[in-house]
């Protein structure tokens, strides 16, 4: 019985950790859009792909993407990455809740967001 409880607790904590690392999901993509995670390129993005915290998204001259934000970001809405852009997606937790930081290296981004209450 103790073993079953331990296994269940491990699975639940792993699921919670996975949910916390999710930044959002690709809602729209066109042209050249690539994603890097942990310094490794994961290739071109497709609609429905998950975007995680600390991912790096880069768009080419004909590329654009829209990310539907996950609730773990503390907001609901979407983030648009415009052509010729590069952005890091950051999320940290503190006593007041989630803090989302977008590190724009180049280009432009847009957003349609509402803070969750």
Task: Give the H/E segment covering residue 94.
Answer: strand 86-94
State which residues form the domain around 104.
Answer: 2-115
pLDDT of residue 30: 97
Q: What is the pLDDT of residues 12-46, one digit of tens each?
A: 333 334 444 899 999 999 999 999 999 999 988 99
Give the chain's domain count. 1
For the entire predicted model, the pTM comes to 0.75
Q: What is the pLDDT of residues 50-63, one digit of tens each?
A: 999 999 999 999 99
11 burial type by CB count under 10 A (0-12 exposed, 13-18 middle, 19+ buried): exposed
Q: What is the pLDDT of residues 61-99, one digit of tens each?
A: 999 999 999 988 878 899 999 999 999 998 777 777 667
């Amino acid at each position: 019985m103790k073993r079953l409880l331990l296994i269940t607790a491990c699975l639940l904590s792993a699921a919670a950790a996975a949910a916390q690392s999710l930044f959002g999901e690709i809602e729209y993509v066109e042209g050249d859009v690539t994603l890097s995670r942990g310094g490794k390129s994961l290739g071109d993005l497709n609609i429905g792909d998950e975007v995680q915290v600390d991912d790096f998204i880069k768009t080419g001259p004909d590329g654009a993407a829209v990310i539907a934000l996950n609730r773990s970001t503390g907001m609901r809405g979407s983030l648009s990455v415009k052509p010729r852009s590069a952005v890091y997606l950051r999320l940290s937790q503190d006593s007041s809740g989630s803090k989302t930081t977008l590190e724009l290296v180049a280009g432009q981004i847009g957003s349609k967001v509402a803070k969750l209450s």
